[in-house]
């Protein structure tokens, strides 16, 4: 399959949470409100069906619809330049290929592909290489490697495997949710950025990643504070490292609090409370998070900064 395979441009990307109503159906007005706030906050792209988007809890039709709604909302509000990346992880090579086709049809420009983790003992390096290469061969849009051991039964792709996959003409980047800056730096220093974009998957190492040559960040915290992340990126590009470091400290503390809230449910609860749209409903077996009694002083500090920008 012939594809114009270029990496997504550097910047701030957010794996957007997906809002549901009390019946666990898509809450389309809240989804649109969230997409619009993220775009207005200066993100470079929105990842639909990252782990924060509850991809594995959606039907194929719902996954496609979420991508379509995101692209449509951006286009209708003058944000055509904001990319849509689709998480297309499936538990079989066949299903993953289908999700990549669906993603293109719904308006995504790139796919982010998780390594299947149901049978981790059988996912030897040769099988991992074969899986990602076969998906990339078949995908009508460029693919990226999503390394997130927490959701792939502990499978953690090392820099050797990712470096080999980076040689494929249709594999153009990676999201490292292992937050391993050493791995990130090995990749950025061995594969040209023009061919392969390396993103940390956590705001806690956003600036550290930039110093090590990353393309930006694809992280959960921009769901809460997109402007603050765009500001760190701007300051770094302008060489104002001391100022960027001060904001990065805020991001690191807030990201840790968000993790302790339980991430997906916590993000929705925080967004609902402080930005006035969406309800904190999640699909089972996840559960909603009540933040009224939680210590979120660092998150509140970041949100105050976000609203000042």
Give the Cα-Cα-Cα angle 33, 6, 68 (nearest 5 degrees).
30
The residue among 52, 8, 56, 58 whose CA lies nearest residue 34 is: 52
Look up 175 and say whether it is catalytic.
yes
The residue among 201, 173, 135 whose CA lies nearest residue 8 is: 173
128 is in an annotated binding site: no
Could you tell me if residue 224 is left (phi over 0), alpha (psi between -120 and 50 degrees) or otherwise beta?
alpha
Instruction: Indicate which residue of 32, 64, 97, 146 is catalytic.
Output: 146
Alpha-carbon distance 144 to 87, whole Å? 9
Look up 13 and say whether it is catalytic.
no
DSSP H stretches of helix in the chain: 28-40, 60-76, 93-106, 125-138, 159-165, 181-188, 206-211, 226-237, 241-261, 264-275, 297-308
Instruction: Indicate which residue of 32, 175, 227, 268 is catalytic.
Output: 175
Tokens of 67: 């991508």
| Burial class for 274, CB neighbours closer than 10 Å (0-12, 13-18, 19+) | middle
220 near 258, Cβ under 8 Å?
yes
Alpha-carbon distance 89 to 291, whole Å? 30
- Starting from the edge strand earliest in sequence, which strands make up the sheet with 216-218, in order? 197-200, 171-176, 143-147, 110-114, 83-87, 45-48, 11-15, 216-218
Alpha-carbon distance 205 to 35, whole Å? 24
Binding residues for pyruvate: 218
Known catalytic residues are: 146, 175
Binding residues: 218
């Amino acid at each position: 399959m012939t594809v114009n395979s270029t990496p997504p441009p550097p910047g701030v990307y957010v794996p957007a949470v997906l809002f549901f109503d009390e019946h666990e159906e898509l809450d389309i007005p809240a989804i649109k409100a969230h997409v619009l706030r993220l775009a207005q906050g200066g993100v470079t792209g929105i990842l639909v069906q990252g782990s924060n988007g509850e991809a594995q809890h959606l039907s194929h039709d719902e996954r496609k619809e979420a991508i379509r709604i995101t692209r449509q909302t951006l286009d209708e509000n003058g944000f055509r330049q904001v990319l849509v990346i689709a998480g297309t992880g499936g538990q079989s090579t066949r299903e993953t290929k289908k999700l990549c086709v669906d993603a293109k049809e719904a308006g995504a420009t790139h796919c982010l592909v998780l390594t299947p983790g149901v049978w981790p003992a059988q996912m030897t390096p040769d099988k991992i290489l074969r899986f990602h290469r076969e998906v990339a061969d078949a995908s009508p849009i460029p693919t990226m490697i999503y390394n997130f051991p927490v959701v792939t039964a502990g499978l953690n792709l090392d820099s050797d495997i990712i470096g080999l996959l980076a040689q494929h003409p249709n594999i153009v980047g990676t999201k490292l949710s292992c937050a391993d800056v050493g791995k990130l730096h090995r990749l950025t220093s061995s594969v040209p950025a023009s061919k392969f974009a390396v993103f940390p998957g956590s705001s806690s190492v956003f600036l550290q990643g930039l110093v090590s040559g990353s393309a930006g960040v694809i992280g959960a915290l921009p769901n809460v504070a997109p402007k603050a992340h765009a500001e760190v990126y701007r300051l770094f590009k302008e060489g104002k490292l001391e100022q960027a470091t001060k904001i990065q400290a805020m991001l690191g503390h807030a990201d840790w609090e968000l993790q302790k809230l339980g991430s997906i449910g916590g993000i929705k609860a925080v967004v609902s409370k402080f930005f006035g749209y969406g309800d904190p409903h999640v699909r089972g077996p996840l559960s909603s998070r009540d933040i009224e009694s939680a210590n979120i002083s660092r998150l509140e500090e970041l949100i105050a900064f976000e609203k000042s920008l």
